[in-house]
Structure 1
Amino acid sequence: MTNRFDTASPAGQTAPKILAEAHELVDAAARAFGPNTHPRRLLADCAYRLREPLRVALAGSIKAGKSTLLNALVGQAVAPTDATECTRVVTWYRDSATPTVTAYAPDGASANVIVRRGGGAHGLTFDLSALQWDRPGPRPVDHLAVGWPSAALAQTTIIDTPGTSSLSREVSQRTARLLTPADPGGGSPPFAAPGADAVVYLLRRLDATDVRFLEQLGTGAGGAGPLGVIGVVSRADEIGAGRIDALHSARDIAARFAAELERTGLCQAVIPVAGLLAFAASTLRQPEFAAFEALSAVPAEDLSVALLSADRFARADIALPVAPELRAQLVDRFGLFGIRMATMLVRLGARDAASLSAELSARSGIEELRAVLEVQFGQRAEELKAHSALSSLDRVLTAYPGTEADLLLPRVRARLADVHGFTELRLLGRLRTDELPLPAPALADLHRVLGGAGVAPHVRLGLPIDADPAAVRAAAVTAVHTWRSRSTHPLADQATATACRAAARSAEGIIAGLGQ
């Protein structure tokens, strides 16, 4: 997967149609409300979010590694990772021709933010101490907007959120307000940052706070929260105290988290990622490779003793063929786990910075996360955006009755209930939870035909990428008959029958797409 989310719509799916219909419904509702009214402004945001890239929020408890993971996904140091005031507000990262950072107040006032660049892992700092607002008087910061030239951000707007378990109730509520939208009639200001289309939730441990917040994502605002949620066991390298087998330990923990979260239907997948290593790998410099090459020549036992702690490794009195200052930078950027992994890979044959970067990236878990994000979010971007816009439209029409827009509400709710792409996403989130009484091969086929491995027709049908249209049609027809037959089996319970009917409809969508 490339370093972006692919927003192309698959053939045979209803994403372009539902996106166009969402545009039509939002525009019709806006015309029914008078100009310069609060609902009209809320609907203007609905229309805007249909035109812009998919919005993916990074959420989790404090110090979960959200900003570090953001930098790793973008491949650049765009987010401050040190604990400053800017990590206590919601920050939106969008593609821009030139780097810009702007602070916004609750009343819509704005101010340019001074950006300071340092070294090590904490590459950037946003200075909020002396903001010059474009309106008179001091005011609090509601959210930050960062514009940055980036191919990843051109496809996806990424939202960095404050920790959900912050000691400050107000700080934690900023994330809750973004991801679990409140009733728009409750007096929220028109300039408040709108919600996300999907969420990547970072976990260091699975505690009651995480479970409660994930439950809110699924039930907030009458179920109008983000439709897609992916879990990440973050800072995975720290789980094994930085040992070389740390990611294996993290994968075992991720499996336990996944079993619990999937049992409750709170996450569609759980992936372990060493965010610090992933970001360092994407920005590996030649002097760092040379340092790892020199360290790889040190006897393994001596290097292990030096790596007992970060402070010990950087001490000047430890005899190593790398200057203490550079050793301190390596600890800051790669961590002890990353240093152990890098030196091992050099011993195993990594001969230049590019090959070492690729190997470290693969072992950090970031490529697996990108692949999951591509399937769950990127390939369904239009459906996720349409769901967000229609859910917001539903809330606005409910909160502001008494106009001709009331006539649109049945259509809006019908689209939310009937759009097959939404049904697929909900089923994929609940598939393992329901424990359907189907053989393992049939369950794997069900997951695939619903788009769990990708939404392209050949992927859904388990065919090679170069399969000709006749083969695709024949496989789709067979799939329709197979899943229709399973849905009407006399021993099939209601959940199984519903899932099988959805699979048959997915296969019918492929046939319809071939006809088009």
Structure 2
Amino acid sequence: MTHRFDTAAPGGQAPRILAEAHELVGAAARVFGRDEYARTLLADCEFRLREPLRVALAGSIKAGKSTLLNALVGQAVAPTDATECTRVVTWYRDASTPTVTAHAADGARANVIVRRGSGAHGLTFDLSALSWDAYGPREVDHLEVGWPSAALAQTTIIDTPGTSSLSREVSLRTARLLTPAGADGNARGRSAISAPGADAVVYLLRRLDATDVSFLEQIGAGAGGAGPLGVIGVVSRADEIGAGRIDALHSARDVAARFAGELERTGLCQAVIPVAGLLAFAASTLRQPEFAAFEALSTVPAEDLGIALLSADRFARADIALPVAPELRAQLADRFGLFGIRMATMLIRLGVRDSSSLAAELAARSGIEELRSVLEIQFGQRAEELKAHSALSTLNRILSAYPGTEADRLLPRVRARLADVHGFTELRLLGRLRTDELPLPPPVLADLHRILGGTGVAPHLRLGLPAEADPNTLRTAASTAVRTWRARAAHPLADQSTATACRAAARSAEGVLAELPR
């Protein structure tokens, strides 16, 4: 089963933003018609406005990025074993046939041999015998994987090397992809202009340390507004937090709440979600023989099965008397983990009777559905705005590097779009709502979060009404919201931050009103 982010624009604002970005990039291309370097950068801006949203998976080494990618796509497309390919940036795009291509920094390409792994390891990309061309061997700059997938048709996913790798160069590859000013923030001159490779980021956390906070600050859009506008945190490998116990995800939710609380002070993430990536991927690819094995294991007394599940090695031992062959037990431990085995057998004891029902139950308990929902709301429904922000931020940097030219005429228009586009304002406010600690009652803060699009950008979601609400009801609610938020913004006791947020809410309500049919 595969899923995709819904990138349909809820109203007229997103297409207008995209059209304005296209117009400004085109105008800049005419200005720099003879500058090959600027033309190349502008062509990339134009291309990313037309292609799917780019979402990068980032985090420390062994955080589970490749496993989460496989779970989101619903297929084993990313290698999860520690091989050379996990040390380079890998782009996953939709394609008619599966292909894997290695790219060098000078533009050379080479086909990569793909080997099918066993168990949870999926594929392996063999980079040991690349055939570049007559000019000899090169270092791999990045990999590009083309794969037929409904999920990748809507979203290009970028798997990045670990940010805490022992190799500084490996860690810098991720920083260079996500930070527009270069990994050290000291880019100088026209030749150092670069564009952020992603429009949004899913950052995987196993623990929240200074390295994670520093990297989130580095890639955050708050630093000059140039980085990716959307950042979602994921407490990855959540099933391991509770040592594989049946209540592991409850423990993971407590950890996620603590991480979210600590990140609230900086506003670096728009949400923090616990996910058991291994279980999520295994659930999406559950096989009938595996279901039969879980059925057999569910007949074992709980105490005896619990003793067998003290460790993966013990569970797969041939001298442990269980109604499943040791080889299949080892496969179950590899694909589902101890938590997944405990969860699957418990669900069957509670009445789950077929493999499709078990897969759905395991997926729901893995946290992947909650993550998909957050990604759809924060990224999918705002895809056009996120892409436009990336393109305009890059265009701003290009024009700033050419002072005293016709670029000076375009620069104010670009900066005005970055400052005035209300969708950008909403995204920044949603990321800062908790941080600002606005002196508003909790119900009012909930209304503010909703009207800014925090639960979805459709008019009825912003207004807190049912999906079947008629246009007159929506119009009345939107008009009331405009008046209410304007009054709150004008309240004499409202501080500057509160007044700014309330004015933004009023403008969001006005946008809803403008979208409704007269």
**TM-score greater than 0.5 by the shorter chain:** yes
Q: Contact 2:489–2:503 (CA<8 Å) still a contact in 1?
A: yes
8 A contact 2:177–2:197 mirrored in 1? yes
Deviations 1:62-100 (A, max 9, x none): 000000000000000000000000000000000000000
What secondary structure, in the 3-state scheme, does the structure 1 residue paired with 2:263 have? helix
1:435 alignment counterpart: 437
Per-residue deviation, residues 189-242 of structure 1 (Å, max 9, x unmatched): 89x885100000000000000000001112687330000000000000000000
Percent sequence identity over matched residues?
Answer: 85
What's the secondary structure of 1:145's corresponding residue? strand
Contact 2:217 2:223 in 1 (8 A): no
Q: CA deviation at 1:400?
A: 2.8
Deviation at 1:14, TM superposition (A): 1.4
In structure 2, distance between residues paired with 1:188 and 1:285: 52
SS state at 1:142 partner: strand
Distance (whole Å) between structure 2 residues aligned to residue 279 and residue 113 of structure 1:
24
Within-5 A mapping of 1:271-350:
271-350=273-352
Per-residue deviation, 1:35: 4.0
Q: 8 Å contact 2:2–2:150 — kept in the other structure?
A: no
Q: Which residue of 1 aligns with 2:45?
A: 46
Instruction: Work out the CA distance in 2 between the residues paired with 1:246 and 1:103.
Output: 39
Letter in 2 for 1:137: G
TM-score, L = length of structure 2? 0.97
CA separation of 1:122 and 1:457: change in aligned 2, threshold 3 A = same
Contact 2:221 2:228 in 1 (8 A): no
1:18-39 CA distances to partner (integer Å, 9 max, x unpaired)? Answer: 1000000001101111346101
Q: Does 1:3 align with 2:3?
A: yes
Structure 1 residue runs of 5 or longer lacking an equivalent are none
Q: Which moved more, 1:165-174 or 1:129-138?
A: 129-138
- The 5 Å alignment of 1:71-470 reads 71-182=70-181, 186=189, 195-218=197-220, 222-470=224-472
In 2, distance between residues paired with 1:463 and 1:508?
16
* Cα distance between partner residues in 2 of 1:186 and 1:130: 37
Distance of 1:359 and 1:71 partners within structure 2: 18
Distance in 2 (alpha carbons) for counterparts of 1:87 and 1:151: 24
- Return 5+ residue gaps in structure 2 as ranges: none
Partner of 2:265, secondary structure, is helix
Amino acid at match of 2:261: A
Paired residue secondary structure (1:317): coil
Deviation at 1:402, TM superposition (A): 3.8
Separation in structure 2 between the aligned mates of residue 362 and residue 379 of structure 1, nearest angstrom: 22
For 1:490, which of 489, 492, 495 is the aligned residue?
492
Contact 2:312 2:333 in 1 (8 A): yes
Q: Find the counterpart in structure 2 of residue 55 from structure 1.
A: 54
Q: Pick closer, same or farther for the CA change 1:398–1:221 going to 2, 3 Å.
A: farther
Is the CA contact (8 Å cut-off) linking 1:90 and 1:143 kept in structure 2? yes
Residue range with higher mean Cα deviation, 473-482 or 215-224: 215-224
Question: Which amino acid is 2:170 matched to?
Answer: V
Q: Distance in 2 between matches of 1:58 and 1:399?
A: 30
Following the alignment from structure 2 to structure 1, what is the Cα–Cα distance between the partners of residues 35 and 405? Answer: 15
Counterpart secondary structure, 1:222 = coil
**Matched residue SS, 2:315:** helix
- Name the aligned partner's letter for residue 15 of structure 1: A
Q: Describe the superposition over 1:455-476 as per-residue Cα deviations: whole angstroms up to 9, x where unpaired.
A: 0000000111011111111000
Distance 1:116 1:96, change over 3 A: same
How far off its partner does 1:355 sit?
0.3
Contact 1:19 1:50 in 2 (8 A): yes
SS in 1 for 2:220: helix
Post-superposition offset of 1:263? 2.0
- Are the equivalent residues in 1 in contact too, given 2:2–2:74 (CA < 8 A)? no
Tell me, in whole angstroms, the C-alpha distance in 1 between the residues paired with 2:404 and 2:107: 29
CA contact (8 A) 1:59 1:160 kept: yes
Contact 1:67-1:160 within 8 A present in 2 as well? yes
Contact 2:113 2:125 (C-alpha < 8 Å) held by counterparts = yes
- SS of residue paired to 1:475: helix
**C-alpha contact (below 8 Å) 1:182/1:221 kept by paired residues:** no
Counting matched residue pairs gives: 514
Q: TM-score normalized by structure 1?
A: 0.97
Segment of structure 1 superposing worse, 131-140 or 341-350: 131-140
Distance 1:38 1:491, change over 3 A: same
Letter aligned with residue 346 of structure 1: I
Q: 1:392 to 1:323 in 2, by over 3 A?
A: same
Instruction: Supply the distance in 2 between the matched residues of 1:297 and 1:204 (Cα, whole angstroms).
Output: 34
* Equivalent pair of 1:116/1:127 in contact (CA under 8 Å): yes
Pair 70,2 (structure 1): closer, same or farther in 2 beyond 3 Å = closer
> 1:79 and 1:134 mapped to 2: Cα distance?
26
| Amino acid in structure 2 at the alignment position of 1:91 | T
Q: Distance in 2 between matches of 1:49 and 1:227?
A: 15
Check the 8 A contact 2:233/2:270 in 1, yes or no.
yes
Give me the whole-angstrom Cα distance separating, in 1, the residues matched to 2:180 and 2:293.
Answer: 49
Q: Is the 8 A contact 2:55 2:155 kept in 1?
A: yes
Whole-Å Cα distance in 2 between the matches of residues 228 and 497 of structure 1? 24
Counterpart of 1:20, as a letter, is: A
Q: Partners in 2 of 1:341 and 1:389 — Cα distance?
A: 45
Distance 1:420 1:483 in 2: 16
